[in-house]
Structure 1
């Protein structure tokens, strides 16, 4: 992505890469010192990942746990800061371990500098996957 890529376009591209299970290319969209945060992470789960290397390690096995099929209901809101967006979306697919449906609603606050993600606060609901057989979240979410 060029440094002139609008944040909404960078974000849409990141979703395509997740659907393609191309985690390496997804991680390449991050700045070296990027921060990925999960403000609602339960005890024992990561609440903050600092740096591209930590984000890569965290996401490496994501496709082994969740088979994403689509991100319907995507709405991207521009903020007064041209490099910050607020995203509302739904991710749907299947949990690989159990075959159960995966359907999660997200709100994210995303900052981009020089065409790379620098901050991504992911407000997902851990209670939505807190069922027997869904302990994948400790290693991948």
Structure 2
């Protein structure tokens, strides 16, 4: 039985928070993509395909940010059963500095046949830009 769109979103959020790259990637269609419409310099606008997603996430896993928990998660199912919108507060740590990080995220996912075909991540680019700048200014 194919998972519902909501179940897929719950699994992808858990895999992302736990930095479980393989589970995260397996939840994507072979040609699925992650997209960041708003992002600071140095972050790609789109990563497409399982191999590229895996490569990107592996490079990021021990890099800049480790999210410890997601709070106030709200999953909105839409009139289109393939589209789910999720809102959450991501709390974590800036790895190079140990500073706390709080990020507000809204994501729009399209799921087809139990796999993510698109994941548009509308994170707050100002928080990430400030984090990157702080790490650079501290020599990281």
Shorter-chain TM-score range: 0.7 to 0.9
SS of 2:123's equivalent? coil
The one-character-per-residue Cα deviations of 1:6-65 (angstroms, maximum 9, x if unpaired) are 111111112222233211111111110002111012344311112111111111133313
**Paired position in structure 2 for 1:138:** none
Hey, what's the Cα distance between the residues in 2 that align with 1:134 and 1:7?
37
Range with bigger deviation, 90-99 or 40-49: 40-49
- Alignment pair present for 1:63 and 2:64: no
2:73 aligned residue: 74
How far is 1:85 from its partner? Answer: 0.5
Contact kept? 1:85, 1:110, Cα under 8 Å? yes
Q: TM-score, normalised by structure 1?
A: 0.86
1:1-141 aligned within 5 A: 4-64=2-62, 65-131=64-130, 132-134=133-135
Quick check: 1:97–1:133 contact (8 Å CA) kept in 2? no
Contact 2:40 2:128 in 1 (8 A): no
Structure 2 unaligned runs (5+)? none
TM-score (norm 2): 0.86
Q: Over residues 40-98 of structure 1, what are the superposed CA-to-partner deviations in whole Å (9 max), with x where a residue is unaligned?
A: 12344311112111111111133313221111110111111101101111111111111
Superposition CA RMSD, Å: 1.6
More strand by share: 2
Q: Single out whichever of 18-27 and 95-104 deviates more from structure 2.
A: 18-27
